Structure 1
Amino acid sequence: MNGIARIDEQSVLKAYARWAPVYDWSFGAVADFGRKRAIDSINQREGKLLEVGVGTGAALPNYAPHLTITGIDLSPDMLRKARNRVRQRKLKNIEALYEMDASELRFDDESFDTVVAMYVMTVVPDPVKVLAELERVCKPGGEVVIVNHFAQDHGLRGMVERWMTPAARALGWHPDFRIETITHMTKLDLIETRLLQPMGLFTMLRFRKPAEGEKTCATTGEGACCCG
């Protein structure tokens, strides 16, 4: 898997349990800008949305009311906070929140118009398998949206990422995760690549699943679909 060390499921659960009480005002705050930019794009769409790795439900109040939302997460501690948020905010468009493994989604093929995974791919044991599941449950013509940190080889940021890799793995994520792990492992059309704040630390990738009979298009070096 491109040299990335696997993270076992129990390590992920332990990390989530540690982070659940403080997530919203720690990493959740850092990730908030990127999350909002992704949601701005998603809110232009219609139909059923699956959020994979819903966590504490930080995104849920920001989705447009015309969308029907299902969320999944591996961590019961995170989901407890998400369900409390839904109740407190009286969110009517949240259809269900399930405890579920992202690499084995218990949904039928082509169930959702939009599938989003924000800050998930670096903390799952098998990101390639998760990507295949995101693709499977997305309807033809639908979109898969991924927001994540991807490793940079050069410059100060690259040096810092390499230095912090051992400690980061101990906390349940790998900062050496490369964008090619996603872009080279899917048949989806990459239609947008956008660097997000703070400091371009995160990237949003938007993919489109070709409709039946539609050819998969090539992408440019910048990640824009050549078909327009």
Structure 2
Amino acid sequence: MDIKAVQSSYARWAPVYDKTFGAITNVGRRCAVEYINSRGGSVLEVGVGTGLSLEQYKPDMHVTGIDFSAEMLQKARDKVQALELSQVEELRKMDARTLDFPDNHFDTIAAMHVLSVVPEPEKVMAEIARVCKPGGKVVITNHFERKQGVIASLERLFAPFANTIGWHSDFEIETVLQEDALTLEEQRALPPLGMMTFLVLGKSGG
């Protein structure tokens, strides 16, 4: 994925995102936020988008959100203001490959349906690991490539159009599991049809 392609794609998606792709991914967001709420503390949401998850965080959470799309971020800011979401401390435009936060800074990092749309996801995972506190968790929901079946064939069909549609249909789970500082602790399929996957990765130490 090219960063300019991501910008233009999500500028187009922003006005209709909540009722289209946002609706499809709602189950994953709920699962992720429920898990994060049970931990408490500070959370960084990488790829906060239009802020669909923000009102689901408990009032005593400390939420920071980043996104590279100015159009998406404006939608998120509008939600925060309209709903008076005091748990949201900051929303910033930022490239997830170079996070502007100190090492070991957040209790939990959330990456919900974003890793298959960013350029260089390996760099993003390395940055996520860096800013996560020792003993902290990384919570991921995403679509990953199927190896066989009808859906796998459709994924391969759409793969060449990643820059146009705004996401990689053939994104491999190994891409997010190769970061040495993070260990897979939980993995389960999510509805509909198990198309999305919920992951929890732990950072050693703490």
TM category (shorter chain) comes to over 0.9
Q: Which amino acid aligns with 1:189?
A: T
State yes or no: 1:34 paired with 2:28.
yes
Shift of 1:173: 1.4
TM score, norm. by length of structure 1: 0.88
Aligned residue in 2 for 1:25: 19
Aligned residue in 1 for 2:3: 9
Shift of 1:17: 0.1
Aligned residue in 2 for 1:206: 200
Aligned residue in 2 for 1:49: 43
Aligned residue in 2 for 1:61: 55
**In structure 1, C-alpha distance between the alignment counterparts of 2:30 and 2:67, rounded to whole Å:** 20
In 2, are the aligned partners of 1:113 and 1:138 still within 8 Å (CA)?
A: yes
**In structure 1, C-alpha distance between the alignment counterparts of 2:180 and 2:122, rounded to whole Å:** 9
SS of residue paired to 1:96: strand
TM score, norm. by length of structure 2: 0.97
**In structure 1, C-alpha distance between the alignment counterparts of 2:158 and 2:180, rounded to whole Å:** 29
Shift of 1:185: 3.3
State yes or no: 1:191 paired with 2:168.
no
In 2, are the aligned partners of 1:105 and 1:133 still within 8 Å (CA)?
A: yes
**In structure 2, C-alpha distance between the alignment counterparts of 1:48 and 1:41, rounded to whole Å:** 13
Q: Select 1:115's aligned residue among 99, 109, 115.
A: 109
The runs of 5 or more residues in structure 2 that have no matched partner are none
In 2, are the aligned partners of 1:53 and 1:71 still within 8 Å (CA)?
A: yes
Q: Deviations over 1:178-212 (max 9, x none)?
A: 00111123331111001111111111110111115
25-34 or 178-187, which moves further after superposition? Answer: 178-187
Aligned residue in 1 for 2:148: 154
* Runs of 4+ with deviation above 3 angstroms: none
Q: Deviations over 1:122-167 (max 9, x none)?
A: 1111000000000000001110111111001101111111112223
Note the aligned Cα RMSD (angstroms).
Answer: 1.0
Q: Which amino acid aligns with 1:196?
A: L
Aligned residue in 2 for 1:82: 76
The runs of 5 or more residues in structure 1 that have no matched partner are 1-6, 213-228
Aligned residue in 1 for 2:89: 95
SS of residue paired to 1:206: strand
Task: Return the structure number with greater helix share.
Answer: 2
SS of residue paired to 1:43: helix
In 2, are the aligned partners of 1:131 and 1:186 still within 8 Å (CA)?
A: no
Q: Deviations over 1:19-60 (max 9, x none)?
A: 000000000000001111111111101211100000000000
Q: Deviations over 1:95-142 (max 9, x none)?
A: 000000000000000110000010111111100000000000000111
**Number of residues of Structure 1 aligned to a counterpart in Structure 2:** 206
> Aligned residues: percent identity?
50
Distance 1:167 1:104, change over 3 A: same
Larger Rg belongs to: 1
Q: Select 2:133's aligned residue among 135, 139, 144.
A: 139
Q: Which amino acid aligns with 1:143?
A: K
Shift of 1:170: 2.1
**In structure 2, C-alpha distance between the alignment counterparts of 1:141 and 1:210, rounded to whole Å:** 6
